[in-house]
């Protein structure tokens, strides 16, 4: 076996592995499906070329291109990475739009083809169809007649492999961090990640630029190895090959990306050498069959093994031991369920019946540790009013195209209460909840939280102030474990940023450990500690509801807005959830809960607010409300 042959394979393997790692970072980890990926590699290749080449009048002037500054190594490679990253920037704005996945894919593919067309036809730019050639090799200057020595080639190859390993390590550090977890959360459910306060635009931009720089570097390296670069090297077919490599190797797994690079671009190239050539066969038969084989592999893997040869690894996080938890002041034994409250006497009409200001259950004084927790580490102080009001709706209204979904609603929620919000279909409950949470803007009126007007504060910032909502539909991150789901919703973790991740475990380890401790306590309390390291998508519906609630609790809220937490849940589990919510309120939490299951209201909620046709109808315990004619009418008339 020829030494040059081995070097050839190694160089291509390293370059393709880099490109695949970059694509995997965007597509497999962050869920940014970028069908224009090849453009970044092309940009890097051209950048390295025009930086390294002399002015285009040199070498007989048969090429025509911009640039040509004859810069020494390693500037062309640096330029290649920078070019790849810069070209990726505008793409960031394409991905925010709510365009169907397939439409977006078409747009990106077409962009790649369009750029290829422009470069091919506009010769003065980058020498058009013929491409650039005679690109100087690093540290040797350019001499097209000298064959590099074997020693040089080995050093070059070793250097490239080292670079590839560095890229691997860099991306690994980025991904195996709280930031990487947020990327994967964005991939699994970007809407929910957004509501938890993750900055989607910033993450997508960072991944596009990072992947772009890596792709650009791979292009730059390739260019200086093969000393030419033309549009033929980067047609749309190359993007398909790279996607095939990442899918087959295993999307979301860095070793999978490397394996895919070895199997697909490199493997196919090499396999043809071993097929006996015959003059009887048409010359394009083997290459054509290669493409057919790639197509068959893509479809075969997508059908039989979409996770690839090396699927994404599960990140297992050990549940913190009880001793560690006790040290931080958390109770580890579950609070026993409280009994059903007695009916209260009430006078006058149902509204504002909490005039006495006391809630129906005894509120035990929180211990020092829990008191800290209940206040949370939210930045803004905020405080209860003297009557203990946490949240107040003042004349809230919401209009949709002439229809008033919510009509001048006012009520208050006191600390330590588990308040229910009920009403027939179309009453406006979910709309009201969304306005209180900040996920829907108000048409008029105010939302006052802890004495502060938060009407124009966005949802994720309200969450940071301690006002947290849950969602109706399944909103867990399916390909994150339960523990990861919980830990990812912590508001402050030093590792949850690009540069924080680069700091490594030494930098963010403490924050992470603290989050794990809190998550472990919640898991124990809600009885899901055994499932801590199961994928959230594998749990039953009721268990996923618990995860949703625990995740909201991880944000250290002072008040929870729950949107139908028991919907579709088995009655037995619904009762457990109800008990837990009551226990939380006993510890100082405030909860406002929309529910249809009126039996739950009966057992756990006091007070209960009834809405109908966008307005508040009445307020009281379920027992009282059932005795009120207008409430019965609202439900029966519909």
Partner 1 sequence: MSADVTLRGLPLRAEGITAGYGGDPVIRDITVSADPGQVVSLVGPNGSGKSTLLKSLVGIVRVSSGTVTVGGRQVTNMAPEEIARAGVGYVPQVDDVFGPLTVRENLEMGGYLLRRGEVAGRIDKVLTVFPRLAGMVGRGAAKLSGGERKMLAMGRVLMLDPGLFLLDEPTANLAPAIAIALLEEHVRGLAAGGAAVLIVEQRAKAVLAISDHTYVLGGGEVRMEGTPAELSVSPEFVESFLGGRARPVGSAEG
Partner 2 sequence: MTLFLASVGFGLVTASVLAIASVGFTLQFGVTDVLNLAYGAVMILSAYVAYQVNAQGISVWIGLLAAVAAGSLASVVLNGVIYTPFQRRGATPTTMVIVSLGMTLIIEFGVAAVAGGVGVSYAMGNGPTFRAGGLNLTGVQLIVMVLAVVVMAGVHVLLRYTKLGKAMRATAANRTLARNCGIRTGRVITATWAVTGALCGLAGTVFAIDAGSFDASSTDLFLVLILAAVFLGGPGQAYGAMLGALVIGLATEVSAVFIPADYKYVIAFVALLIMLGVRPTGLLGARP
Residues that bind partner 2 (CB under 8 A): 33, 35, 97, 99-107, 110-111, 113-114, 117-118, 120-121, 237, 240, 243-244, 247, 282-285, 288-292, 294-296, 298-299, 302-303
C-beta of 267 vs 366, nearer to partner 2: 267
Is residue 329 a contact residue for partner 1 (CB under 8 A)?
no
Choose among partner 1, partner 2, none what residue 105 binds, the Cβ cut-off being 5 to 8 Å by kind: partner 2
CA separation for the pair 393, 611 (Å, rounded): 14
Choose among partner 2, partner 1, none what residue 632 binds, the Cβ cut-off being 5 to 8 Å by kind: partner 1
Residue 561 in tokens: 């807005």
Q: How far is the CB of 628 from partner 1 (least distance, A)?
A: 10
CA separation for the pair 308, 298 (Å, rounded): 10
Residues 479 and 535 sit within 8 Å (Cβ to Cβ): yes
The set of residues, in sequence order, having a beta carbon less than 8 Å from that of 232 and lying 6+ positions away, is 131
Among 163, 324, 567, 615, binds partner 1 (CB under 8 A): 567
Phi, psi angles (nearest 5°) of residue 396: -75, 135
C-beta of 22 vs 614, nearer to partner 1: 614
Is residue 570 a contact residue for partner 1 (CB under 8 A)?
yes
Query: Rg of the chain's alpha carbons, rounded to an integer?
Result: 31
Buried b (16+ CB within 10 A) or exposed e, 566-597: beebeeebbbbbbbbbbbbbbbbbbbbbbbeb
C-beta of 96 vs 527, nearer to partner 1: 527
Residue 531 in tokens: 């499932």
Q: How far is the CB of 473 from partner 1 (least distance, A)?
A: 11
Q: How far is the CB of 182 from partner 1 (least distance, A)?
A: 26
How far apart, in Å, are the Cα atoms of 613 and each of 84, 344, 435, 563, 631? Answer: 56, 28, 16, 18, 12
Q: Are strands 389-400 and 403-414 parallel, antiparallel or unpaired?
A: antiparallel
Residues 356 and 600 sit within 8 Å (Cβ to Cβ): no
How far apart, in Å, are the Cα atoms of 179 and each of 24, 405, 490? Answer: 16, 39, 12
Is residue 607 a contact residue for partner 1 (CB under 8 A)?
no
User: Among 305-313, 369-377, 440-448, 597-605, which window interacts with partner 1 (CB under 8 A)?
Assistant: 597-605
Phi, psi angles (nearest 5°) of residue 495: -85, 0
Q: How far is the CB of 405 from partner 1 (least distance, A)?
A: 13
List binders of partner 1 among 403-432 (CB under 8 A). Answer: 424-425
Q: How far is the CB of 126 from partner 2 (least distance, A)?
A: 15
Q: How far is the CB of 263 from partner 2 (least distance, A)?
A: 16
Choose among partner 2, partner 1, none what residue 23 binds, the Cβ cut-off being 5 to 8 Å by kind: none
Q: How far is the CB of 119 from partner 2 (least distance, A)?
A: 12
Choose among partner 2, partner 1, none what residue 527 binds, the Cβ cut-off being 5 to 8 Å by kind: none
**CA 204, 77, 231 angle in degrees (round to 5)?**
75
Among 32, 522, 616, 622, binds partner 1 (CB under 8 A): 622
Q: How far is the CB of 616 from partner 1 (least distance, A)?
A: 17
Among 110, 271, 302, 632, binds partner 1 (CB under 8 A): 632
CA separation for the pair 638, 635 (Å, rounded): 5
C-beta of 509 vs 568, nearer to partner 1: 568
Choose among partner 1, partner 2, none what residue 540 binds, the Cβ cut-off being 5 to 8 Å by kind: partner 1
Is residue 72 a contact residue for partner 1 (CB under 8 A)?
no
Q: How far apart are the first and last CA of the chain?
A: 83
CA separation for the pair 632, 638 (Å, rounded): 10
Q: How far is the CB of 352 from partner 1 (least distance, A)?
A: 22
Residues 227 and 135 sit within 8 Å (Cβ to Cβ): yes
C-beta of 143 vs 288, nearer to partner 2: 288
List binders of partner 1 among 531-550 (CB under 8 A). Answer: 540-542
Residue 137 in tokens: 């090799």
Q: Are strands 467-469 and 452-453 parallel, antiparallel or unpaired?
A: unpaired
Q: Which residues pair with 349 in a beta bridge?
A: none
Q: How far is the CB of 432 from partner 1 (least distance, A)?
A: 15
Phi, psi angles (nearest 5°) of residue 126: -140, 35
CA separation for the pair 547, 552 (Å, rounded): 9
Phi, psi angles (nearest 5°) of residue 420: -100, 150
Q: How far is the CB of 425 from partner 1 (least distance, A)?
A: 4
Q: How far is the CB of 440 from partner 1 (least distance, A)?
A: 19
For 108, counting Cβ atoms within 10 Å of its Cβ (0-12 exposed, 13-18 middle, 19+ buried), the class is buried
Is residue 603 a contact residue for partner 1 (CB under 8 A)?
yes
Cis peptide before 607 (omega within 30 of 0): yes
Q: How far is the CB of 334 from partner 1 (least distance, A)?
A: 17
* HSE-up of residue 100 (Cα within 13 Å, Cβ side): 3
Choose among partner 2, partner 1, none what residue 362 binds, the Cβ cut-off being 5 to 8 Å by kind: none
Choose among partner 1, partner 2, none what residue 248 binds, the Cβ cut-off being 5 to 8 Å by kind: none
CA separation for the pair 199, 178 (Å, rounded): 14
Residues 90 and 108 sit within 8 Å (Cβ to Cβ): no
CA separation for the pair 143, 284 (Å, rounded): 33
CA separation for the pair 441, 450 (Å, rounded): 19
User: Cα 164 vs. chain centroid, distance in angstroms?
Assistant: 26
C-beta of 290 vs 587, nearer to partner 2: 290
Residues in the interface with partner 1 (CB under 8 A) total 35
Choose among partner 2, partner 1, none what residue 541 binds, the Cβ cut-off being 5 to 8 Å by kind: partner 1
Among 36, 578, 588, 614, binds partner 1 (CB under 8 A): 578
Q: How far is the CB of 192 from partner 1 (least distance, A)?
A: 18
Choose among partner 1, partner 2, none what residue 158 binds, the Cβ cut-off being 5 to 8 Å by kind: none
User: Among 180-188, 195-203, 373-381, 601-609, which window interacts with partner 1 (CB under 8 A)?
Assistant: 601-609
C-beta of 183 vs 574, nearer to partner 1: 574
C-beta of 299 vs 340, nearer to partner 2: 299
Phi, psi angles (nearest 5°) of residue 235: -75, 180
Residues 565 and 323 sit within 8 Å (Cβ to Cβ): no
Is residue 635 a contact residue for partner 1 (CB under 8 A)?
yes
Among 11, 569, 581, 618, binds partner 1 (CB under 8 A): 569
User: Among 16-24, 208-216, 480-488, 591-599, which window interacts with partner 1 (CB under 8 A)?
Assistant: 591-599
Q: How far is the CB of 564 from partner 1 (least distance, A)?
A: 7
User: What residues line the site for partner 1 (CB under 8 A)?
Assistant: 340, 424-425, 540-542, 564, 567-572, 574-575, 578, 596-603, 622-623, 625-626, 631-633, 635-638
């Amino acid at each position: 076996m020829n030494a040059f042959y081995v070097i050839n394979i190694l160089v291509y393997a390293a370059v393709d592995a880099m490109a695949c790692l970059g694509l995997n970072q965007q597509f497999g980890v962050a869920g940014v499906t970028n069908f224009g990926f090849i453009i970044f590699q092309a940009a890097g290749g051209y950048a390295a070329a025009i930086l390294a080449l002399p002015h285009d009048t040199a070498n007989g002037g048969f090429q025509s291109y911009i640039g040509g500054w004859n810069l020494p190594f390693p500037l062309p490679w640096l330029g290649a990475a920078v070019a790849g990253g810069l070209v990726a920037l505008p793409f960031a704005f394409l991905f925010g739009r709510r365009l169907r996945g397939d439409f977006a894919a078409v747009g990106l593919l077409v962009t790649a083809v369009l750029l290829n067309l422009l470069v091919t036809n506009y010769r003065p730019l980058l020498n058009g169809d013929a491409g650039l050639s005679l690109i100087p090799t690093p540290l040797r200057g350019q001499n097209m007649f000298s064959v590099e020595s074997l020693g040089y080639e080995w050093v070059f190859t070793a250097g490239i492999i080292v670079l590839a390993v560095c890229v691997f390590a860099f991306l690994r550090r980025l991904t195996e961090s709280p930031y990487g977890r947020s990327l994967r959360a964005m991939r699994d459910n970007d809407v929910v990640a957004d509501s938890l306060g993750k900055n989607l635009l910033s993450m997508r931009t960072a991944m596009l630029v990072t992947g772009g720089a890596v792709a650009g570097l791979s292009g730059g390296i390739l260019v200086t190895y093969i000393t030419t670069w033309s549009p033929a090297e980067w047609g749309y077919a190359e993007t398909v090959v790279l996607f095939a490599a990442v899918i087959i190797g295993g999307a979301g797994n860095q070793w999978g990306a490397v394996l895919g690079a070895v199997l697909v671009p490199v493997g196919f190239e090499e396999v043809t050498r071993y097929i006996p050539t015959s003059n009887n066969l048409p010359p394009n038969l083997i290459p054509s069959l290669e493409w057919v084989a790639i197509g068959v592999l893509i479809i075969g893997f997508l059908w039989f093994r979409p996770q690839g040869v090396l699927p994404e690894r599960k990140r297992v996080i050990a549940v913190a031991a009880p001793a560690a938890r006790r040290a931080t002041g958390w109770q580890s034994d579950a609070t026993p369920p409280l009994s059903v409250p007695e009916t209260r006497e009430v006078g006058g009409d149902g509204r504002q019946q909490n005039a006495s200001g006391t809630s129906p259950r005894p509120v035990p004084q929180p211990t020092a540790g829990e008191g800290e927790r209940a206040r949370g580490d939210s930045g803004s102080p905020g405080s209860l009013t003297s009557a203990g009001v946490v949240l107040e709706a003042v004349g809230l209204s919401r209009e949709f195209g002439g229809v008033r979904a919510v009509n001048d609603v006012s009520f208050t929620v006191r600390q330590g209460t588990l308040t229910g919000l009920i009403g027939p279909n179309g009453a406006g409950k979910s709309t009201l909840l969304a306005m209180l949470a900040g996920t829907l803007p108000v048409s008029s009126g105010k939302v006052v939280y802890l004495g502060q007007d938060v009407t124009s504060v966005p949802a994720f910032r309200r969450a940071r102030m301690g006002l947290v909502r849950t969602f109706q539909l399944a909103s867990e991150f399916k390909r994150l474990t339960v523990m990861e789901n919980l830990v990812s919703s912590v508001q402050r973790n030093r590792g949850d940023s690009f540069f924080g991740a680069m700091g490594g475990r030494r930098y963010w380890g403490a924050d992470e450990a603290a989050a794990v401790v809190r998550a472990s306590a919640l898991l124990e309390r809600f009885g899901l500690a055994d499932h801590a390291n199961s994928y959230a998508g594998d749990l039953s519906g009721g268990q996923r509801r618990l995860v949703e609630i625990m995740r909201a609790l991880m944000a250290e809220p002072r008040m929870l807005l729950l949107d139908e937490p028991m919907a579709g849940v088995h009655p037995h589990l619904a009762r457990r959830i109800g008990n837990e919510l009551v226990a939380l309120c006993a510890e100082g939490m405030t909860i406002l809960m929309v529910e249809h299951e009126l039996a739950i209201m009966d057992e756990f909620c006091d007070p209960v607010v009834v809405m109908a046709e966008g307005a508040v109808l009445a307020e009281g315990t379920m027992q009282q409300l059932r005795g009120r004619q207008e409430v019965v009418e609202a439900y029966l008339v519909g």
